[in-house]
Amino acid sequence: MKKLVSFILLLSISCVQALPQNLILLSDCHQQEGIDKDDITATHQLITALQQATAPIIASTSLWKNIVDRKQAFTKKLQDQYSLESEIYRLYQATNKQLQIFDYNLDRINKKLSLSWYAQQYSKLALLQQDQLNKLKFNFLCYSFNLDFNTWSVYDAKTGMFLFVPLQNNIVVNKRQQISQESDLVHDFSKKNSVIQSLQVYFSGNDDEWVIYASGHGNLQDDKEEAMIAGMSIGEFSDLLSYFDQVMKIKLFVYSSCYAGGVHTVEPYKNKQVHFPVIVVSLTDCPIYGFGFFEGVKLPPYTKNLYLTPQDIARKKGLLPCKIQDFQSFFRSAWSGQHDLHLIGLVSQFFSCDDVICSVKKIENMPLVRKAGALYFNVFEDEATHNLMHKAKDFTTIYSKKAILLYTKKIEKIVLKNTVSIISMLPGLQNHQINELIAQSLSFSQIVNESFLSLADAAKNKNYLINRLVCKNDIIAGAANQEISHCMIIQQGFMPKFLPDKIETCISFAVGKVWYLIVWKDQKPKKIMTLTHEQINIITELEQFMQQGIDVQSDMIPDELLTFDAYVKNKVYQNDIIESCLRDKICR
């Protein structure tokens, strides 16, 4: 009986000690951000998280170094009163002064500090290119930011990553790793970052439950760089998932990274069935978009698209940092179980949700969710997502005014009155067939650019075969109202052998008995060819090879096509088909 009581007591104590904890993880393991580089996303998020002091932060030391270096460089430039740095600093001071003069009357401020006022008063800034101005503004943000040791405890475990903990937080950390003053933060800028080692050292023996938000750069593997997700290599990220699953109790894991969708929703996961839900802020194999104002505050000029609101100012303080991410609301919503677009809108400015409607500015930032124990990612199954996109999951006819996500290899018919993004959700090299695409009011160029190639810098790993296309042919003179057949949009694996190397996209089609091929670059035709009899034979044989690629796994249940096993089998089949095409000297 005593043993039973003791066991119950120990169990109750452990339950009391298991606390809900939040963590922001900002990784730049390969140091893609620095004073001499253009990338600033992770550094910007670090400043935002430090300003809000909502949750512990583990961040690569190089991100802190980026802030320090930019602050020092900006400070030095301020010694020259004619420098651009002095100019933007004066603009900041003048804006706060005008707020005081007009007693914080925003209507009058927004009218006075207009584009014409800005151009007249700050002509040197007005002449800058947007990218130059953005860099200057971000350097000003770094200059104006100061870490408050009355708000934060800071730790350095020599793992290449600092830990920042708000003083009011109840997490237990080894005090021997603590840094007592800001100057100690510049002594260790290790080039080696280890996320798992940092978690092990900082939170050794921790039995709490966690909501974790992670962010960092991502890219696909190419000849120069290895593949990355959220600032880590694919291997590091995969190991981190295993560490979370085996060592930590996770309520929810959310990460934001370019190229984190598509193949990167399967390769690092393999067949892992982790015990926690995962949300990735990335729809497919393409870049996602940034996080807001480079200067951290809304500086003039004020226009109808950028104006001050009551949330942007405070009496006696003037301009306030813009909430490009609301971490406090994010973590509160995550713990309440609100795992939807509203949650993601708190950390991605490209979503805007209220009680009535959600809107999306960049479809690339649409999140995917992988439920606890699941084998694949999918978009949220909620009303907001349904209002933003159409999920094509069977061989049917689609009438849509919103983005079409292809979860199936074959579609019977698509009817469009306006251009919408048509996006393959199947990972890796995929070939899709659309029997009919009817878009009578749209031009051929619009359909190519705004539907099939709508995602800028996306991986070139999707091909499309459209048997019948009805649109306004703005490419071929005299064929504006003629139907197009045998249309292939080719980006990978099936380039005809008569084309030279280094062509990323080609489009072949027939109008009546005449066949054409277009080399497509920079959203327009670079070269238009009328095909010879021999070239037509190559194109028709190429179409047969692509049809083989389409027929592979076309009878599978759509959700099964998203799994790792299906991805691997498709990859093998597609490579075999391409090898046959090369062997028959049809592809190059």
For the residues 118-138, what does the mean pLDDT come to? 95
Which pLDDT does position 411 carry in this prediction? 95
For the residues 551-559, what does the mean pLDDT come to? 93
Q: Is residue 588 part of a domain?
A: no
How many domains are there within the chain?
2
Distance CA 188, CA 169 (A): 25
Which pLDDT does position 234 carry in this prediction? 95
Distance CA 501, CA 453 (A): 20
pLDDT, one tens digit per residue, over 290-340 is: 777 888 999 999 999 899 999 999 998 999 999 889 999 999 999 999 999
Residues 482 and 505 occupy one common structural domain? yes
Residues 115 and 232 occupy one common structural domain? yes
Distance CA 29, CA 457 (A): 23
Q: Is residue 1 part of a domain?
A: no
Banded pLDDT at 182 (limits 50, 70, 90)? confident
Is residue 424 within 8 A of residue 386, CB to CB? The reply is no
Q: Is residue 5 part of a domain?
A: no
Q: Is residue 378 part of a domain?
A: no
Whole-structure pTM value: 0.93
For the residues 136-165, what does the mean pLDDT come to? 93
Residues 470 and 502 occupy one common structural domain? yes
pLDDT, one tens digit per residue, over 381-407 is: 888 888 889 999 988 889 988 999 999
For the residues 354-366, what does the mean pLDDT come to? 77
- Strand residue runs (E) in 317-421: 318-319, 351-353, 358-360, 368-370, 389-392, 397-399, 403-406, 410-415
Last residue of a domain, one of 370, 405, 433: 370
Query: Is the predicted pLDDT of residue 2 greater than 60, yes or no?
Result: no
Query: Is the predicted pLDDT of residue 429 greater than 90, yes or no?
Result: yes
Residues 307 and 388 occupy one common structural domain? no
- What are 267's two structure tokens? 């390769």
Last residue of a domain, one of 370, 395, 418: 370
* H or E, element range at 548: helix 533-551
Residues 568 and 428 occupy one common structural domain? yes
Give the largest Cα separation in the chain, rounded: 94
Residues 228 and 354 occupy one common structural domain? yes
Banded pLDDT at 188 (limits 50, 70, 90)? low
Q: How far is CA 405 from the centre of its chain?
A: 17
Query: Is the predicted pLDDT of residue 13 greater than 50, yes or no?
Result: no
Q: Is residue 4 part of a domain?
A: no
Q: Is residue 11 part of a domain?
A: no
Which pLDDT does position 355 carry in this prediction? 62
Other beta carbons less than 10 A from residue 450's beta carbon = 17
Residues 356 and 436 occupy one common structural domain? no
Mean of all residue pLDDT scores within the chain: 91
Distance CA 475, CA 462 (A): 22
- Name the amino acid, one letter, at 556: M
Query: Is the predicted pLDDT of residue 356 greater than 80, yes or no?
Result: no
Q: Is residue 130 part of a domain?
A: yes
Which pLDDT does position 184 carry in this prediction? 78
Fill in the DSSP letter of residue 265. Answer: G
Which pLDDT does position 353 carry in this prediction? 67
Residues 362 and 406 occupy one common structural domain? no
Which pLDDT does position 573 carry in this prediction? 96
Residues 74 and 34 occupy one common structural domain? yes
Residues 364 and 388 occupy one common structural domain? no
For the residues 211-222, what does the mean pLDDT come to? 93
Cα–Cα separations (whole angstroms), residue 170 to 16, 56, 166: 13, 10, 9
Query: What number of CA atoms fall less than 13 Å from residue 31's CA on the CB side?
Result: 15
Residues 112 and 159 occupy one common structural domain? yes
Banded pLDDT at 14 (limits 50, 70, 90)? very low
Distance CA 193, CA 172 (A): 22
Residues 553 and 435 occupy one common structural domain? yes
What percent of the chain is predicted at pLDDT more than 70?
95
Query: Is the predicted pLDDT of residue 190 greater than 70, yes or no?
Result: no
Q: Can you give the residue range of the structural domain that contains 471?
A: 384-583
Last residue of a domain, one of 309, 337, 370: 370
Which pLDDT does position 481 carry in this prediction? 84
Q: Is residue 270 part of a domain?
A: yes
